[in-house]
Amino acid sequence: DVLLQRRAPTLSSHPGQVSFPGGRVDPGDADVVATALREAEEETGLDPTGVEILATLPVIPLAASNHLVTPVLAWWRSPSRVVAVDHAETVEVFRVPVAQLLDPETRFTSTITRMGHTFRGPAFDVDGTIVWGFTAMVLDALFDAAGWTVPWDATVERSVDL
Residues 127-151, mean pLDDT to the nearest whole number = 95
- Which domains, ranges and CATH numbers included, belong to the chain? 1-96 (3.90.79.10), 97-154 (no CATH)
pLDDT digits (tens, 9 = 90+) for 7-34: 888 876 777 889 999 888 899 989 999 9
Residue 60 burial by Cβ neighbours in a 10 Å radius (0-12, 13-18, 19+) = middle
> What is the Cβ-side half-sphere exposure of residue 29, based on CA atoms within 13 angstroms?
13
Paired with 60 in beta bridges are 69
| Predicted pLDDT of residue 140 | 96
At a CB cut-off of 8 Å and minimum separation 6, what does 160 contact? 110, 111, 112, 123, 130, 132, 133
| Predicted pLDDT of residue 68 | 87
Calpha distance 89→139 (Å, rounded): 22
Under 8 Å between Cβ of 132 and 121:
yes
- pTM (predicted TM-score): 0.90
| Predicted pLDDT of residue 162 | 59
| Predicted pLDDT of residue 116 | 87
What percent of the chain has pLDDT above 90?
Answer: 73
pLDDT digits (tens, 9 = 90+) for 80-129: 999 999 888 899 999 999 999 999 999 999 999 888 888 999 999 999 99
pLDDT digits (tens, 9 = 90+) for 36-85: 999 999 999 999 999 999 999 999 887 767 788 999 999 999 989 999 99
| Predicted pLDDT of residue 15 | 75
| Predicted pLDDT of residue 9 | 81
Calpha distance 106→122 (Å, rounded): 11
> What is the Cβ-side half-sphere exposure of residue 153, based on CA atoms within 13 angstroms?
6
Order of strands, sheet of 2-7, starting from the edge strand that comes earlier in the sequence: 18-19, 2-7, 90-96
With H, G, I as helix, E, B as strand and everything else as coil, classify residue 80.
coil
